[in-house]
Structures are given as structure tokens and as C-alpha cells.
Amino acid sequence: MSDKVSARLASVADIASGIVRIIGQVTAWSGLVLVLLVAFNVLGRYLFNFGTVALQELEWHVLAVAALFGMSYCLNQGGEVRVDIYYGRMSARAQGAVDLFSSIALLVVSLIIAWLSIGFVEQSYSIGEGSADPGGLTHRYILKACIPAAFVLLAVQALAMTCEAAARLLSPEIRS
């Protein structure tokens, strides 16, 4: 019975991780977009005496999107920072329990942040928020809408991690 549950959990984890991986790989290209945008702005300013506030703001918009969606991909690829001083000394069962608890906590916190940030986006949309600078970008709610979307994606990754941790705890090797 627990083998079927473990297999089902592993399947859910694979699907969730796959979604995060695809979105993360697409998001990784925003790094190239940011480099090209900064290069264009610098060359335009110093060689042609050309520059706009909108393009400068677009730089930090692209950076914000990359950071928001990149956090899920970072976890997906195992790029998180761990304090292994205690974790490394624990038994496999204790490590599994820590992983399960921490991934559930991440899932809950991610969903709470996503939920709470929706009002932030709605407010921005309702007032037609844009840049305070003349010539800046309009429709700031689009950028702000990335906040709940990125935290839902983080929750998807946390779900994958929760399923993986639960499947490990249910596996026969760790139960004994």
C-alpha cells in the first residue's frame, strides 16, 4: 500500500518539478534580455546621447521578474543554501522529517504571500498605477501581478518537495 502512495507522490513531485523547471528555463533567458537592455542603454547614452526613463525602469522590471521566478527554479535545481552542520549528522528518517516539515512550511508561507499580494495587485490596477517619473512605464500592475504568480510557482515547487520528502519517509529503506 505505501509503495503505491510513494509512487503516486513521486509522480506528483515529477509533474510539479517539471512545471517549475520549464518556467525556470524560460525565465533564465531574462538574464540575456537584461544584459542586452543594459548594454543598449549604456551605449545609447554614451555614444548617441540617447536614453529614456522607460528603458531604465524596464531594467529593474526584468530583474524583478527574474528574481521572483528564479527563486522557484533555484530550489528546483538544488541551489538553496543549507546549514548542514546538524542536518548531516541526522539519521535518514530525521532528515526526511526535517525536509517534510520545511517544505510544508514553505508551501504554506508561499500560498499566504500569494494570497495577500493579490490585493496589492488589485489596488495597483484600480488606480492605474504607473511610474512617478515623466516618461516612465505605465501599467505597473503587470509587474506587481508577477508577485502572486511567482509565489504560486514557489508553492508548486514546495508541493513537489513535500511529495518527495513524504515518499522518502514512506520508502521501506527509511522506515526500518
Number of domains in the chain: 1
What is the pTM assigned to this prediction? 0.85
In this prediction, residue 176 carries a pLDDT of 46
pLDDT digits (tens, 9 = 90+) for 41-82: 898 888 888 878 888 889 999 999 999 999 998 888 887 777
Quote the cell numbers at residue 124: 495597483
Tell me what the pLDDT averaged over the chain comes to. 87
The four Cα atoms 81, 83, 87, 89 give a dihedral, to 10 degrees, of 130
Which domain range does residue 107 map to? 2-175
Q: Helix %, strand %, coil % for the chain, to 5?
A: 80, 0, 20
Percent of the chain topping pLDDT 70: 96
Those residues of the chain that have pLDDT short of 70 are 1-2, 172-176
- The reported pLDDT for the residue numbered 173 is 65
